[in-house]
């Protein structure tokens, strides 16, 4: 979360981000998925099981627009 892009960040291809909702959406997804509870359940399971382990992750992804002409990336 520390390295998330935010309002006024500039992408690697030079486009400034406007109306960046990543942080808000991330927080909503963590809440609606009950991620913290699931992570705690995984940690408890792992503490109780020596040989069997579980894992959990949330992975943000971003797809850059595929146009090669800059003005088409809107």
State yes or no: pLDDT of 27 exceeds 90. yes
d(CA 26, CA 56): 16
The model's confidence at residue 26, banded by pLDDT at 50, 70 and 90, is: very high
d(CA 50, CA 22): 37
47-64 per-position pLDDT tens digit: 999 999 999 999 988 776
62-72 per-position pLDDT tens digit: 776 666 776 76
User: What is the per-residue pLDDT for 39?
Assistant: 98
Separate counts of helices (H) and strands (E) for the chain? 2, 0
User: What is the per-residue pLDDT for 65?
Assistant: 64
pTM above 0.85, yes or no: no
């Amino acid at each position: 979360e520390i390295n998330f892009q935010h309002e006024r960040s500039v992408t690697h291809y030079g486009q400034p981000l406007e109306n960046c909702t990543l942080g808000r959406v991330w927080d909503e997804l963590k809440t609606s998925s009950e991620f913290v509870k699931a992570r705690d359940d995984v940690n408890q399971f792992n503490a109780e099981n020596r040989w069997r382990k579980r894992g959990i992750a949330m992975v943000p992804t971003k797809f850059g627009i595929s146009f090669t002409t800059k003005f088409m990336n809107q």
